[in-house]
Structures are given as C-alpha cells and as structure tokens.
Structure 1
C-alpha cells in the first residue's frame, strides 16, 4: 500500500504494487487477512488504479467481478468481521453481483 499511495518515499507506479498486493492476497492466512480484503474490495480511495494495471493479473477464465468475489468470500470465511458484515449487507440488499439470499445474509451477520 505504501508503494501504491507513494508513502515512505517510494515511487507511485501502480504496476508493482498491484502485483505485490495480489501475491499478498493469495498468501494470506488467518493471521494476515487485510491484503485479501483490500485486494478483493478494491478499496483504493486515495489512489485510483486504472484497469490496465489489474486486468492482466486476472486469470483468463475469470472476470474482475468473479475474482473480487472469490477474495471477499475467502477472507470472510477466514473470519474478518468487516468483510462478513459487507457480505451480509450485500446478500440482504442484493448488491451486485450477490443475489438476494436472506439465509446467507443472516449467516454472515452472525
């Protein structure tokens, strides 16, 4: 994130930070969940990342939405409460790409 936001005196080229963030998301564990959360949600409010930097990182058989959903569901399964709340809300209000599912909503809220 420091590279992406240009903090700590590092350059602000989005190519390297997106690769590092993707690698961190793939290697996340129950002790380190935030890279997967950030990568899945695409929460780069301070730095806008153009499509050309993250689309090459997505497998050919997938889409940006499918990849984001996969990472979000993974980190919720591993127990990160903000992600569980976001998924509960998404299933309750049918926020795309999530369908309306009251049972999943209650499970994620719980």
Structure 2
C-alpha cells in the first residue's frame, strides 16, 4: 500500500495517509488533529481545505460547499479526496478559527495576574 506525507500548513502537523483513505480518514486513523471533523460524508463543509501542493483524486462533493471553481482551484473537502502524491494543505472550512487558535495559544506565553 502506498502512503503519502500530508502537511497541514496551519499547524505544521504532518501525517502519513494511505492512497486508499481520504485525507480526513488518514488523519483520524493516526489520532492526529488539524483538519476539523464534521459529518465525514461531504454534507457539512467543515473539513474544507485548500490543497496548495500535491495531487489527489476527488469523489463527488456537494456544490453547496464546493463550487466548480473551488474544485478547480484545489478548494476541496478533506473527507472526499484521496492523495495521489504528498500533499500540503491549509484549512479554510467553517472551523478554521478553532484550528488556528489552538496553534496560536499553544505557543503563546501565559501570564498570571495576582
């Protein structure tokens, strides 16, 4: 089975994804985080990502969440695409704020008031 390296640019997280799994399934199978998880079937749009590098095979996606232009430009649902090479992506779905906020707060110094 062929596996590809997937980089979530927002968090710096990387994981290996088998060619038989969607980008979302591969992330979940390894217990990783970075791409928000919703319905897992393309109906909610929560896992929308921008593929910035690499190639993939896409299954049918709801036009409510991914327009034809989006798809041509690499804006896809992570639950509906399987990698065919190493992939770099950024999160652009509805839950992007929670992904980016987690990274920003993880590296920020904490302050305590007395």
The two structures have a TM-score, normalised by structure 1, of: 0.31
The two structures have a TM-score, normalised by structure 2, of: 0.30
Between Structure 1 and Structure 2, which shows a larger proportion of helix residues? Answer: 1
